[in-house]
Chains A and B, each alone.
Chain A
Amino acid sequence: MLINGELKYESQKLGMNYFRVALVLFGAQLLMGLIAAIQFLYPGFLFEIFDFSVSRMVHINALVVWMLYAMIGSVYYMIPDETGEETVGIGLGKLAFWILTAAVAVVVLVYIFIQVGPGNESTIWFINEGREYLEAPRWADIGIVAVVLVFYYNVFATYMKGRRTGIMTVMVANLFALAGLYLTGMFFTDNISVDQYWWWWVIHLWVEATWEVFVGTLAAYALVKIIGAKREIVEMWLWIEVLMLFGSGILGLGHHYFWIGTPEYWWEIGALFSSLEPVPLVAMFVHVLYDWGKEQGHCESKGSAHALNNSPAMAWVTANAFGNFLGAGIWGFFHTLPQVNIYTHGTQFTAAHGHLAFFGAYATILIAMMYIGVQGSYGIKKMTMTFKTKMALTLIIFGVLGMGVALTIAGYEQVLVERADLGGGWDAYFIAQDLPWYIQAQGWRLAMGVVTFVGFIYLAWDLLTIGAVESAQEESEGAAAAAAA
């Protein structure tokens, strides 16, 4: 991941820069998560120095930002492959990258060192907008819009100039929606229900609609790239997934409207369309395994053992297929119906779903894209898994699953004690947090967080070294084959 030597296109080099920053932010996200996990167990830890409200905020914002970085990086990486053209306005794209990175650095430093400001407009403009998940101050909000406009211009202009594949068509249309939705989280209203109503457009229509379609697009690109799947078939799957994801995801938004003062008809709409949301995830899961099995069968019939040219990336794509269904599908479904949601809303169930879904649906496929980037950067024909790849895969998956299970147990205890037994009041909230099941579950969450962090260290180490190791091995094998001939 350190060099771009074999990349022909500036766009792909820029994509690798985005991946590098994403990896750093991923590490920062996990560190902040560890601090917050310690604070659940020991509330006095870093009290009034680095409060839970700050560590949690940086944890979540770093998550959103590293994923956006990796997404932008993925698009810049795949554009030349898909369109056959260098990205239009690449100089502008590079400038936007440095501006965005400088702005993110300033925002993070303000979050960490200034943290809070007076209760007036100056805080909203310069410190923190106070809108959960999207806390960036307003100057940064406007900057993000400007950078994304540059990015979208680059993508759209290149698409119009080059080959218009089905994958790029979906990508261009979806990016328009993804970028446009950010605007709905940029204004305040006096009525908090109305405010929440619009704010959910960003969060929900990102993670359960446009980001999922984005994942489908990346999976399609990865299948063509890694196993040589037939483009026409992959694109047909992609269109079906788009239909189902938007068909269920857009009105599935209703599950955020259950308890914020919106009309009751949202219960029925939210219940129905939320229930349908796992269906496309099953389809994506089947799609990956079907294509892999089919291409493997073709290879075996031709006498070649392996269809894959990048095993680490394919391992993460497969983790994505399982993880998306498990984290977003199962963990989402079992608390999405309004009758259950009123008991689970805002408990650690939500956190369990959040951890499993963000990891399963997004982190996995973005890590796969990083491995594809490394393969291209070093010009490796067939990249195989190293010991570090396997350790990263095992520890991260085990750690995140462990955190998900621990948080589910904590949430289950909250549902029984805080909500069902004590009625969900202020006292009930604190009583439930003092009980042994909750505390033990938070202890296991911290332990599993440490496992995840160790897995991340392996991942970063692998991404930084696998390119050099594998290309050296390929060269020595090539030399040995030449000598034998």
Chain B
Amino acid sequence: MESAIYMPQIAADQFLGIFIVATMVLIFGVGYAASITLSKMGFIAKKWQLFGYAFWILQVYTLYDLGMRIHSSPFTTKVLAVAMLAYLFAPHLYFYLIDEAEKRYETSEDGQ
């Protein structure tokens, strides 16, 4: 009888690596967003944004690694790669919108 559920064969000793890599994907993602944010807020110099991009590269790598470890399908791998490209632009889009909003409402007295 054909199996009803496709269960990818993951060896027991692979799980810890999978959970750690999955966590690192998000940690590096926050590192990237945090570097850009702290630089925009003036807490760190603009040149440190480069570290943010290093975080983003590490995030892309860990996500790729995760995809390999869990035997992700080629379609999902491609879609995740596109999502990572979108994530590269997301903080810049945020702060562009914030700058524009601040310019627009700079003179508004009705802040509250």
Q: Which residues of A contact B (CB under 8 A)?
A: 224, 228, 230-233, 236-237, 240, 259, 268, 271-272, 275-276, 278-279, 282-283, 285-286, 289-290, 293-294, 297, 325, 329-330, 333-335, 337, 339-340, 342-343, 412, 415-416, 420-421
Contacts and interface: CB of A to CB of B under 8 A. Distances in A.
B90 A279 contact: yes
Contact of B34 (A275, A286, A416): A286
9 contacts: A230-B105, A231-B110, A233-B102, A259-B5, A271-B72, A283-B90, A286-B91, A289-B37, A333-B25
A272 B83 contact: yes
Given A268-B73, A272-B83, A278 B33 contact: no
Interface in B24-60: 25-27, 29-30, 33-34, 37, 40-43
Contacts of A289: 37
Given A337-B70, A343-B15, A233 B105 contact: yes
Interface residues on B, range: 35 or more
B22 A333 contact: yes
A276 B83 contact: yes
B98 interface: yes
Contacts of A237: 98
Contacts of A335: 19, 22
A343 B16 CA distance: 13
A12 B57 CA distance: 49
Contacts of B71: 339
Among A236, A290, A339, A420, max chain B CB count under 10 A is at A339
B70 to A, nearest CB: 4
B101 A236 contact: yes
Contacts of B19: 334-335, 412
A232 B108 contact: yes
A415 to B, nearest CB: 6
Contacts of A416: 12, 15
Contacts of A259: 5
B33 A275 contact: no
B87 interface: yes
Interface of B: 5, 7-8, 10-12, 15-16, 18-19, 22-23, 25-27, 29-30, 33-34, 37, 40-43, 66, 70-73, 75-76, 79-80, 83, 87, 90-91, 94, 97-98, 101-102, 104-105, 108, 110-112
Contacts of B5: 259, 342
A130 to B, nearest CB: 26
Nearest to B102: A233
Contacts of B30: 282, 285, 325
Among A236, A325, A412, max chain B CB count under 10 A is at A236
B48 to A, nearest CB: 16
A335 B87 CA distance: 21
Given A231-B111, A337-B72, A420 B97 contact: no
A453 B83 CA distance: 41
A233 B101 contact: yes
A233 to B, nearest CB: 6
Nearest to B43: A293
A342 B101 contact: no
Contacts of B70: 337, 339-340
Among B34, B87, B111, max chain A CB count under 10 A is at B111
Nearest to B75: A268
Contacts of B40: 290
Given A232-B105, A259-B5, A420-B10, A275 B83 contact: yes
